[in-house]
Copies of this chain bind each other. A is one copy, B any other.
Amino acid sequence: MAQSKSIYSREYGVFLDLLRAERLAARMTQIDLAKKLKETQTFVSKCERGERRLDMIETRRFCIAIGANYPEFAAKLDAAIEQSAAAKRIAPRR
């Protein structure tokens, strides 16, 4: 099952969705990305599933490796979180 361990917040989930979408948009596999980052596939997988949190700098490195613009990524993330918060307001969870 997806995301069973450590992330938690809805916001972090939005981040993960965006991160993965960017890699896929660049038509890269986790192995491709891992090589560019000089990391393992396990590492990339864990990051994308939220089992390993990414800080601002690591995320920037991901963006660079993927060929995505980091400031734009952050802006998209911010907007997407706003969206998800709005959606939650309309259809509250509990």
Contacts and interface: CB of A to CB of B under 8 A. Distances in A.
Interface of A: 9, 11-12, 15, 53-57, 59-60, 70-71, 73-75, 77-78, 81
A71 B78 contact: yes
Contacts of A71: 71, 74-75, 78
A81 B59 CA distance: 13
B56 A59 contact: yes
Contacts of A74: 56, 70-71, 73-75
A60 B52 CA distance: 18
Contact of A57 (B9, B60, B70): B9
B60 A11 contact: yes
